[in-house]
Amino acid sequence: MLDFPKNGVPQVQNGTGTIRFGGFEADLHSGEVRKSGIRVKLQEQPFKVLQILLEHPGKLVTREELQSRIWPEENFGDFDHAVNVAVGKLRMALGDSADNPQFVETVPRRGYRFVATLEGLVAETVAVGGLATDDLSGLDDLSSVFGPSDSSGGGRRRWVLWAAAGVAVAGVLVASGVLIGRRTVRSHAPEFQRLTVRHGTVFSARFAPDGHNVIYSASWDGAPVEIFATDVKFSGSRSLEMPGTAMLAVSSSGEMAVEQPPSPRFMMTLRGTLGQVPLTGGSPRQIVENVDWADWSPDGKTLAIVREVPGKQRLEFPVGHVLYETTGWVGHPRVSPRGDLVAFLDHPNYKDDRGVVSVIDLAGHKKVLSTGWESEEGLAWSAGGNEVWFSATEAGLQRRIYAADLAGHVRLAFRTPGGVTLQDIAPDGRLLLTRDEQRAGIMGLAPGASRERDLSWLDWSLPTDISPDGNTILFDEEGEQVGPSYTVAVRDMQGSPPVPLGEGMSGGFSPDGKWAIATVDYTQLVLWPTGAGTAKRIDRGTIQQYGHPVRWLPDGKRILFPGNLPGQQPRCFVQSIDGGPARPVTPEGASMCIVSPDGKWIGSKDFSSNEARMYPMDGGESRSIPGLLPGETVVWTSDPKFMYVHQWKQPSMKIYRLNIETGQRQLFKEVNPVDMAGLCDLSNIMLSADGRAYVYGYTRLLSDLYLVKGLQ
């Protein structure tokens, strides 16, 4: 840590450094900023901007220097935009303003200057690396570094102190090993070999036992998922002639773990019946149903699996022996080379890939290696088994590859513009990864329109509500530029620019349209005004965590939301917007909450039976929904006797109008996407009161598979 003792001599201790300014502390070793001891959310690139500015307090840092030092080897187009975004996020984290800067001042058309005082660097006798500031002969001509000096004594003293501060910070950065872009030893650039060239999604890829064949699952040009093989010594891929089958893992003995039929769940997650089949071909031998992921033990004799059970997901190794279960979801389990640990990505919330990286031993003792990831997909053990490599990002969509040792020390292993997903690591250290282009968007049909239009804002837009007249939509933006807490926004159906309301994940419009309810970081409910007004926060009380989405009751005075109390499973609660305790209205495990137009019933899913049911708002026995098929999603119409039900099955989504008293159903509408390539999901269908206008969400993942050599 950088310490400022009373004699004015800064010292670097334990190879780390902390710089203090304006109530903030920047830990240059851990890459964290804190205020009053609380960590401030700041992503990697904005933190690097801060580091560079701290090297030169009071001095102009040009945009070109930021570009050359933060993105020295990257080859992508709009550097100006990247710099603007990074500086904007830094200012947002510090509560700073470009118009009235306290920390980061803009020098028009040139760059930026750090204008706050670095606390502790106030004495003229500060010593840095053997150089004291009352003897600055070693700095030659300060005017050549900072420009012409002030002619007043105070001005010269100020410039001398800035010089001392800059040298001190630079010394700390060097001692901490974090001086950006100034490495004394340069590693060899990794080598890349592109293995796929078609248009679509690669869901998984593994090295075959011979080391030169690669087995992967993909959906090309909107076709069903199937398994392919490619020899890295030759160009081209061949199908293994198992359409409608996805590969989950390849054993050391040449057996594949596969699933049939692979049903899309979320992004790269597929679900089906687990089977086993040799690489040489044949029909899979079925093992267990409702499996999302699997991996082989090193000897190829047993499997670790993730499967869905009522209300939970379980990690089992071997099959049937439960190591871990969660009401969230588990992804990408990998058995260690010694067979004594399983590493996996642990996600607390369904259909949200933020989470942590964990390992668990065969006795069920779990340890978290790394936290704070907004998106994490892809994991593998290093060749030596001493590190867990994974692909993740703290904000946005551009995942990078990190390596964590079993003590929890994390390092950046690889980054590239656009984001990547780690697929596998060979015994000789070669990697398989996919370079990803992923997007979530909104399509809608406005009142009176004959064609759908794309209503997406940035790169991850998710619709959550539509006004009764069908003219306005409420949605989340969760992409690269909005930060880890996301943004709630509204826009009209004619395509006018969106209007951001505030941070969070939106739930729904109030009945009068004047408010939008949202959750922030799953821990706070906020009412955002859709017009003029001030936001209102709702008392959390004893709720440990909120689920999604949150809905208004027809009276406009109460809300319905999924959540859980400490030590309990999620369920649905009702609470007044004016505060007071939340009242549970469904049993534990029933936590998908929609309310009927008359406010008398709650539609939810009972995870113990995996059945959608209706629960009386005022208590009493629940009842089933006649005519509803397994896997269908329900949305109430404006008539409490009818629901819209739908399920996406490629290539279309059919919407039926279901009479919930008789079970009779009638086809109401059919949605047919034009471009099926990389389409992972159609969801969140919402219709206006008359059913003529609608919006729905889509997610698309396009990927290319690469073989990488030389990563350390």
Residues 6+ apart with CB under 8 A from 712: 187, 413
The per-residue pLDDT for range 383-416, each reduced to its tens digit, is: 999 999 999 988 777 899 999 999 999 999 998 8
Residues in the chain: 712
The per-residue pLDDT for range 35-65, each reduced to its tens digit, is: 766 777 788 888 889 989 988 888 899 888 8
pLDDT at site 148: 35
Q: Give yes or no for residue 227 having a pLDDT over 80.
A: yes
SS3 669: strand
In the DSSP assignment, the letter for residue 46 is H
Q: In this structure, are residues 25 and 76 in contact, taking their beta carbons and an 8 Å threshold? A: no
Task: Write the DSSP string, 570-627.
Answer: -EEEEEETTEEEEEE-S-TTB---EE-TTSSEEEEEETTTTEEEEEETTS---EE-TT
The per-residue pLDDT for range 630-656, each reduced to its tens digit, is: 888 899 999 999 999 998 776 788 999
Q: What CA–CA distance (Å, rounded) separates 260 from 278? A: 15
**Token pair in block for residue 510:** 């109030």
Q: In this structure, are residues 415 and 71 in contact, taking their beta carbons and an 8 Å threshold? A: no
Q: Give yes or no for residue 534 having a pLDDT over 90.
A: yes
Q: What CA–CA distance (Å, rounded) separates 558 from 577? A: 6
Kindly report the pTM of this predicted structure.
0.68
Q: Tell me the β-bridge partners of 465.
A: 474
How far from each other are the two terminal CA atoms of the chain, in whole angstroms? 28
Q: Give yes or no for residue 160 having a pLDDT over 60.
A: no
In terms of phi and psi (left: phi > 0; alpha: psi -120 to 50; beta: otherwise), the region of 250 is: beta
**Tokens 């012409």 sit at which residue?**
148
- Angle value at C-alpha 683, between 677 and 689, nearest 5 degrees: 130
Q: Give yes or no for residue 520 having a pLDDT over 70.
A: yes
Q: What percent of the chain has pLDDT over 90?
A: 53
When pLDDT is cut at 50, 70 and 90, the band that residue 72 belongs to is low
Spell out the CATH class of 254-438+703-709.
Answer: mainly beta
Q: Which of 571-585, 670-684, 688-702 shows the lowest per-residue confidence on average (mean pLDDT)?
A: 670-684
Q: In this structure, are residues 678 and 663 in contact, taking their beta carbons and an 8 Å threshold? A: no
Domain ranges of the chain: 2-176, 254-438+703-709, 440-697
Task: Write the DSSP string, 350-403.
Answer: TT---EEEEEEETT--EEEEEEEESEEEEEEE-TTSSEEEEEEESSSS--EEEE
Query: Crossing angle for the helix pair 44-55 and 63-70, nearest 10 degrees?
Result: 120
> In whole angstroms, how large is the CA radius of gyration of the chain?
28
For 121, phi then psi, to 5°, come to -95, 65
Q: Is domain 2-176 classified as CATH 1.10.150.120?
A: no
Q: How many helices (H) and strands (E) does the chain have?
A: 5, 57
Buried b (16+ CB within 10 A) or exposed e, 560-580: bbbbbbeeebbbbbbbbbeee
Q: In this structure, are residues 270 and 264 in contact, taking their beta carbons and an 8 Å threshold? A: yes
Thinking of the domain 440-697, which architecture would CATH place it in? 6 Propeller (2.120)
- In three-state form (DSSP H/G/I as H, E/B as E, the rest C), the secondary structure along 493-508 is CCCCCCEEEEECEEEE
Do 440-697 and 254-438+703-709 have the same topology in CATH?
yes
Q: In this structure, are residues 404 and 390 in contact, taking their beta carbons and an 8 Å threshold? A: yes
Q: What percent of the chain has pLDDT over 70?
A: 85
Q: Give yes or no for residue 124 having a pLDDT over 80.
A: no
